[in-house]
Every structure is written in C-alpha cells, then in structure tokens.
A and B are shown apart, each in its own frame.
Chain A
Amino acid sequence: MIICVRIDLCIVKILKIFFMRVILLFLNTIGIFCISCDPTSPMEESWQASVNIHISHSVGAQELYYDSVCYTNAKKENYSISRLQYYLSDIHFYKDGKLQYFWNHTLYIDAFKEQPNISLGNISPFTYDSISYLIGVPAVRNQHGMLPSTYENLAMEWPDIMGGGYHFIKLEGHWRAANDISGYAIHLGTLPCIVQGSISVKGTFTAGENHVLTLHMDINEWFQHPYAYSFEHDGVYTMGDSLLMNLIAINGKDVLQPSY
C-alpha cells in the first residue's frame, strides 16, 4: 500500500514536470512570436525607414510676417498675409509612375502657428522620383462632420447651401490699392477646385535611417504661376466665384516644393 502510494506520487511528479516543460515551451514560443510582431523591436527597425515630413512657409525669399504689407506679387502689388490656413491631404510617392507609398490623411495647417509634423513611422524602404499631394480635402472626407469637431475644422466648414464640405484654403490679408489699404480673401472650396499638386523630386528612404523631408510653400506662388494674379484686375474675393477659384487652384499645383 505504501509502495503504491509512492508509485502514484512518482507518476504525478513526472506528469507535473512534463506539463510544466510543455507550458514553458509554449510560453517561450509565444514570447518569441510576440517580439517578432512588435513593430518597434530593434530587429525589425533595421529593416525599416522612419520619415518625418515638415512643412514650412515663406513669401518669395522673405520670412512670413503677420499682416505686414511688405510682399510683392507677380503684378507688382504690395500685400500682406493675415491668415493662411489650409488642409494638406493624401501625399503619394511614385517611382516611374508606379505608386510606392501613400499617406491618405488630412492635416490642418495654420501657417502662423507651430507647424505639425507628418510622421510616416516605420515604413519599408523605397526610392521615389515624384510626389503628389492635395491641398484641400478629398471627396471621401469632404462632407460635413467627416473631420473631427475641432474649432479649426468647424471654422473651415464650407456652408452646405454652397456645396458643403470644407474650405480647402483661407489666404487673407491686405494690399495697397492706389492710396488705400484694402483687404483680400482667397478661399477655395468644393471639389472641382481642389489643388492637385505634384513635385518631381528624387529620393530614397533607406532602411534603418531617420529621414526628414521638408515641403516648402512659397505663398507668392499662389499668385504667380502659370497665371499672374492681380488683386486689382482679377479680384480680391474668390469664395463662390468658380472662375477665380479655378485660377488660384491651378496656380497651387506647384506651390509646395522640397526644401533642402
């Protein structure tokens, strides 16, 4: 009887050790699997590139100052900037016309506030020879309430009775008209007037490196190329005027350029 009990105890002990080892092996396997899934693990990082896109602004070669009539447009009109707010959306990278990477989001930018940073995080390395972007809000998000209800987004809403969605850009300020200072307000909205920009620029995002790409907006470009815009002759207020909005939208196609 005593022996039997001892044999039973031995079997139980052996089974316990066996199951503990199986469990430990199982936990180890899970642990290794989890580590390999972690996108921030050192092992994986070396295979990926990190990219930060910065946005900057100037007016020609001049710094951006608040409401100072110190800038000159292509038509030799002196003007200031008191507001520049816009949305930057859907940045796509191409190589030989083939899409390499896309960032399909919408970012609100106020040129007079701290510039937000677009972090593409850990991405697979790639080479590109052109970048496309939108200034505005693409159709899928250009509806009332599609962007978060922040003060900024609410202030950018385009009234529903005028087509709805959001202002793509608000560029406002003053200009020297004859002997007087007067205002201008360049507002774009509604999908036909979304700015579809593209840049020819070569680059490579290399594995294991942190890259910074600066996209720079020369605000003068809104009034410069291909159409030399005049406040006096073309107009100082674009909202609701599809002809003027289209002129400005076309000028915006190359308003962002890489800066080195």
Chain B
Amino acid sequence: MLALSCQKAGQSQKDPLVEDSIEVVLTPYSLESPAHFPRPIIPDDNPPYVERILLGRKLYYDPILSQDGRSCASCHQQTLGFTTHMMYQGMPVLPHVNLAWNTNFMWNGSKQGTLEEVMLFEVQEFFQTDLNKINQDKTYKHLFRKHFGVSEISYKELAYALAQFVRTMISRDSKYDRYMRGLATLSYDELEGRNLFFSEKGDCYHCHINPILTDNLFHNIGLDSNYNNMADRGLFLVTGNPNDIGKFRTPNLRNVALRSHYMHDGRFTTLKQVIDFYNNGVHNSPTLDPIMTKPGKENGLNLTEIEKLQLVAFLHTFTDSSFLQDTSLSRP
C-alpha cells in the first residue's frame, strides 16, 4: 500500500537516466489514446512526464538544435498539421501526427523502431546538434539537470525529451472523428465520399485503416513502371530486397487537405490529382501491391467526376482544427 502510494505521488523509482547524486521530481503524464486506437508505443525507459514533455516542446521550437538556424518547427508547422509546403531533398516533409503509434518512419522506412531512436537520428545526424552549445546554455543546463537528473546533456537526453513531446502530438478531433463519435454530421457529398473510401470502388481503406488512417506499412501503389530513378525505389534502398522496389510507407491522411505535395516525390499538388492517379494512372510492375490489381478495373477505378469530388470532400473531413490550434503543442 505504502509502495503504491509512493509511486503515485511522483517519481520515486530509480530512473536510469538520472545520476545518483541528483534528485529529480517529476509529474507522471497520462497519454490518452483516442477511441479505438491501439495502445501508443512508449518505451519503458522513457515514460511520459509533464516536465519532460514541456522541455521537449521547448527544444522542438528552438533553433539551438541545428547549425543553420532551423528548428524542428521550421519544417513542421502547426498550422499545416506539422508539415510544410516546402520539399526537402525532393520529398514532401511527412507530418508529425500520431507518431506515438508508428514503428516505421520516413518515406522509405529508413528509420524503424521507437520515436526515441528517430529523434536520436534527428539530433545526432540530421541537425548534428552541437552538444557544447547546448551544455553552455544555462537554461537547458538547469532544465536537464532538474528534469533528467544529468549534469552533462547528451544526445540521448535531447532525443528522449523530443520524443516525449512528439508523442503528445495526437490528432483525435477531426470532423470525421466527431462523426464517428456521433457528434457531427457529414454532408451528402462527404457521406458518399466515405462510402467510396470504405468500399471496393474506392478501396482506400485497405491501407488507410480506420481510424488511424495509415497501416504504417509499405506498398507499391503503381506510381511508376520503371525504377531507374533511385528515389523511386523506396523500401528497396533500405532492405536490398527486389520485392521491395517501389514500396513506400502509407502516409497518414490526417490533415491531408492542408498539404501541397502528395506522394514520395510530391508529384501531385492537389487531392484531385491524387484521385485521378488512382482512377486511371496506376502502372503495373512486378511489385505492384496485389490490392491494386482488380478484375474489371484494369482501366482504373472508373470513378465519375462527381465521385472524385465526393472523395475529396470526405478527405477534407480529416482536417483537425483542434490539433492545429492546440496551445499545448504551439510555440512556448
């Protein structure tokens, strides 16, 4: 009983990150899953704490992480669903949304594992964060000592703090979410679009699974028939397996209507173009996902112009204004 009450009161158990001589008091944070979502992936050595989330948030918006004045938020802007209209190295920037459920990251899956591992890559390799600069900053020195119990900040603490914050970036209140909870009504076109999305005619649901809107797996959807361009080879570049040529990670459709580039190379700039591609632009290849080859649909989905617009209308219901305006995620 005593032990239980001690644990509830705060962090009294031994934290592997904390140096023995430093006392750290933390407030446990309850990461709530949206309805019908799986449990979020939280490593045992980085359970969420209010103070560490706030520290991660401060870092997320701070250009101190980089050598060129950029912060995470430079390319992951809240008003756009934590992505940007800019391309990076010929690829659209994937949004930071609901990453607490991901185990595959980047378009071609070049990063796999936990958010902590991805954030470690971000600070160590992507930003090449100068640890001296961080350790000379009195505020961070104080905050990391107070909340992580370390006198010297390493890449690990930076990554863990960032992962704590990014894990709280949860979209759960789009119009579609509210419709699912019985709190909103879809228009006629949105409903018809939903019927297309979740039927064999549109057949979006096999990869954009309900309600997460990604299966977090890799598929070749038939964008190309040859793969001379290295960037189009996708997962193959990671695994070296010819069966993986042209496969890319299914992007999450939350706030998809806010994006200005679609597909791994951003070749489409409107949702209408994306649907036109699925309707009659799919190329065959040996690794084309079996789901993309349907009898009677060799010439495409045969959607009418109205049906395409209805699908677009439904995709707009994935826009989550609460997420876009959530002050707990905004610049501190």
Contact = CB atoms under 8 A, between A and B. Distances in A.
B36 A145 contact: yes
A185 B219 CA distance: 14
Nearest to A176: B286
Interface string B32-45: 00001110000000
User: Which among A149, A157, A240 has the greatest number of chain B C-beta atoms within 10 A?
Assistant: A149
Interface in B195-220: 195, 198-200, 205, 209-212, 215-216
A63 interface: no
Contact of A174 (B38, B199, B290): B290
How many chain B residues sit at the interface, stated as a range, is 20 to 34
A240 B205 CA distance: 14
By DSSP majority rule, is chain A's interface helix, strand, loop, or mixed?
A: mixed
Given A155-B215, A162-B200, A183 B292 contact: yes
Nearest to B211: A154
A185 B290 CA distance: 6
A90 interface: no
B199 A237 contact: no
A29 interface: no
A151 B38 contact: yes
A173 interface: yes
B284 A237 contact: no
How many chain A residues sit at the interface, stated as a range, is 20 to 34
B240 interface: no
Contacts of A235: 295
B189 interface: no
Interface in B275-325: 284, 286, 288-295
A145 B292 CA distance: 27
Contacts, number: 67
Interface in A212-240: 235-237, 239-240
Contacts of B199: 159, 161-162
B27 interface: no
A149 B36 contact: yes
Contacts of B286: 174, 181
25 contacts: A66-B243, A82-B290, A83-B290, A151-B209, A151-B212, A154-B36, A154-B38, A154-B211, A155-B209, A157-B209, A172-B290, A174-B286, A180-B284, A181-B286, A183-B290, A184-B290, A185-B291, A185-B293, A235-B295, A236-B290, A236-B294, A237-B294, A237-B295, A239-B200, A240-B200
Interface of B: 36-38, 101, 195, 198-200, 205, 209-212, 215-216, 243, 284, 286, 288-295
Given A151-B101, A151-B215, A237-B295, 11 more contacts: A67-B243, A82-B243, A150-B38, A157-B210, A161-B199, A173-B290, A174-B290, A183-B293, A184-B290, A185-B290, A237-B293
